Each structure stands twice: as structure tokens, then as C-alpha cells.
């Protein structure tokens, strides 16, 4: 105990301790300020960056959960906006992965909304692409272009072939 009292009575020791604490604080502040911010997970992409893409007449906007090459990142539309935009180009999934409609036809290369109306996060697989969709949320997938008509099956979690997308050229 006496050694500490003697150490603190020496003003040079106190000055070095104070300087050391200040250096450590400066380093911590620099590290915190220069850390790169994390990207928001709620971002999706839009192919054509128009100011009001959702109300463009006769053309649904193109929102993707996974970014095809050469697209621009944009904020995710609300659920109501997406339902209006995609209309019949949507497949809804309930709590037990029950798909509505269970079978639907779409033109090759078109965009389809995967609409998770269940109370749990679901993992969908469409043409080899996996989409993790939160409860009461949606994702958009782009159907492949095909030479001839082709059936694409949708898997939901461990359940296979819960819906069929008939892709027509």
C-alpha cells in the first residue's frame, strides 16, 4: 500500500498515467469512427430507377431480392405497393407452405412475387435460387428465359414441389 502512495505522490508518474489513458481513449474513438457501416438488410434492387416506378402505367416495376448484374439498389416497396404492381404475378404461401395458386403460368423472363403470408420466416427455392422471406413479407424472383415451355417447382423449407410455375416462351 505504501508503494502506491509513494508512486502517486510522484507527479511524473501521474502525468504518464494520464497521458496513457488519453492515448487509449483516442485510439478507441478512431476505431469506432472509422468502422465501415453495415448495409441495411431491407434493401432490394430495381432495374429501372424511375422516381415513381410503382405507378408507371402498363408496366410493373422490377424489384428483386437478389441482384441481377447491372441493377441499381433502391428501397424496398411496401407490401401494398408490391401487391398492386405484381397483381396476378404472385404466389402466396401460408403457414403450412400451402401455395395459392398451386399452379400458374408465366411468360419466360417475367418477375414473380413470392408472398409469405405465414407467421414464420420461410425459405423458398425457385430454379436453384434460394430466398429467405420473413413472416408477412415478400421477395421477387425473375423466371429464366426458356426455349420451350418448362415447369419450375417451388420448394418451401423441407417441403418439395409446393407450387408449379409453368414458364412459357
Domain boundaries, the chain: 2-34, 43-168
Q: Shortest CA distance to 121 belongs to which of 140, 93, 90? A: 93
Domain 43-168, CATH 2.60.40.420 — does that match? yes
pTM, two decimals, is 0.58
Whole-angstrom distance, CA of residue 161 vs CA of residue 139: 18
Asked whether the beta carbons of 157 and 123 are under 8 A apart, the reply is yes
The tens place of each residue's pLDDT in the chain, 169 residues long, gives 566 666 566 777 777 888 888 988 898 888 877 775 554 444 444 444 333 333 333 334 455 555 555 555 567 788 999 899 898 999 999 999 999 999 999 999 888 999 999 999 999 999 888 999 999 999 988 888 877 788 999 999 999 999 999 999 8
Which DSSP string corresponds to 78-89?
Answer: PHHHHHHHHTTS
Phi, psi torsion values for 75, nearest 5 degrees: -65, 150
For residue 8, the surrounding DSSP H or E stretch is: helix 2-9
Res 98: pLDDT: 94
User: What are the angstrom distances between the C-alpha of 93 and each of 16, 21, 127, 137?
Assistant: 66, 57, 17, 10
Whole-angstrom distance, CA of residue 134 vs CA of residue 121: 4
Helix count and strand count (H, E) for the chain? 3, 12
Amino acid at each position: 500500500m505504501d508503494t502506491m502512495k509513494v508512486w502517486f505522490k510522484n507527479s511524473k508518474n501521474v502525468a504518464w498515467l494520464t497521458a496513457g489513458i488519453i492515448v487509449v481513449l483516442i485510439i478507441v474513438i478512431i476505431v469506432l469512427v472509422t468502422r465501415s457501416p453495415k448495409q441495411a438488410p431491407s434493401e432490394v434492387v430495381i432495374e429501372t430507377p424511375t422516381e415513381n416506378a410503382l405507378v408507371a402505367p402498363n408496366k410493373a416495376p422490377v424489384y428483386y431480392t437478389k441482384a441481377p448484374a447491372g441493377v441499381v439498389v433502391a428501397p424496398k416497396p411496401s407490401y401494398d405497393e408490391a401487391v398492386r404492381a405484381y397483381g396476378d404475378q404472385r404466389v402466396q404461401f401460408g403457414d403450412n407452405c400451402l401455395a395459392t395458386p398451386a399452379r400458374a403460368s408465366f411468360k419466360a423472363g417475367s418477375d414473380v412475387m413470392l408472398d409469405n403470408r405465414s407467421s414464420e420466416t420461410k425459405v423458398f427455392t425457385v430454379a436453384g435460387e434460394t430466398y429467405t422471406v420473413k413472416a408477412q413479407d415478400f421477395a421477387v424472383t425473375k423466371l429464366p428465359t426458356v426455349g420451350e415451355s418448362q415447369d419450375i417447382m417451388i420448394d418451401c423449407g423441407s417441403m418439395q414441389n409446393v407450387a408449379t410455375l409453368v414458364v412459357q416462351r
